Amino acid sequence: MTRNREQQYRQIAARSKYQRLYTHLCGLAAQEWRTSFSEIEALLGFALPASARLHRPWWSNQPAGNGHSQALSWSAAGWETAEVDMEAETLLLRRKPPAGVQPLSLDAVWPVHAAGAWPEGLSLRREDLYAERL
C-alpha cells in the first residue's frame, strides 16, 4: 500500500464516528491494550451497536479500505484485535507488526532435530520401568 493511501485512511479514521477510538489508540505507548466494550463506549461517548455484542465479526480485522469504519479506526492507528471475549465483553488490541516483518514460527525459534534411532532394548512400558524396583 502506498504511503499516500495510508495517509488517506488515517484522515478518514480521524473524521469518522470512531474518531475518539482512533485518537486514543494513536496516543498509546503500550504494545497491547486490554479493554471492555463499556470502556470503549465511555471513550466514544455513545453506545456500541447491538451487533458489536452479538456478532464476533463486528470486531474482525479487515484489509485497509475494505472494511467497516470501526475496523478502520484501529487499523489506521496501527492496531488489530487479538482476543475478543463476547461473553465477558472484553477484547485485547495489539499493535500491528511493522510492514514486511513476519512473525516468528516455533520451528524458526526452536528447530526440529532428529533424535536418531530408538535405542535397542529400550522400553517405556510400565512393567519394564518398575521391574527393577519390585
**Residue 74 belongs to a domain:** yes
**Residue 114 belongs to a domain:** no
Whole-angstrom distance between the N-terminal and C-terminal Cα of the chain?
70
**Residue 55 belongs to a domain:** yes
DSSP 111: -
**Residue 130 belongs to a domain:** no
**Residue 119 belongs to a domain:** no
CA distance 112 to 109: 10
**Residue 124 belongs to a domain:** no
- pTM of the complete model: 0.68
Higher pLDDT, 115 or 10: 10
Cell matching residue 75: 487499523
Q: What is the domain range of residue 18?
A: 3-95
Condensed to tens digits (0 to 9), the pLDDT of residues 48-96 reads 999 999 999 999 988 766 678 888 899 888 999 999 999 999 999 999 8
Residue 23: CA atoms inside 13 Å, Cβ hemisphere, count?
Answer: 9
Q: How many domains does the chain have?
A: 1
The beta-strand segments (E) located in 41-78 are none
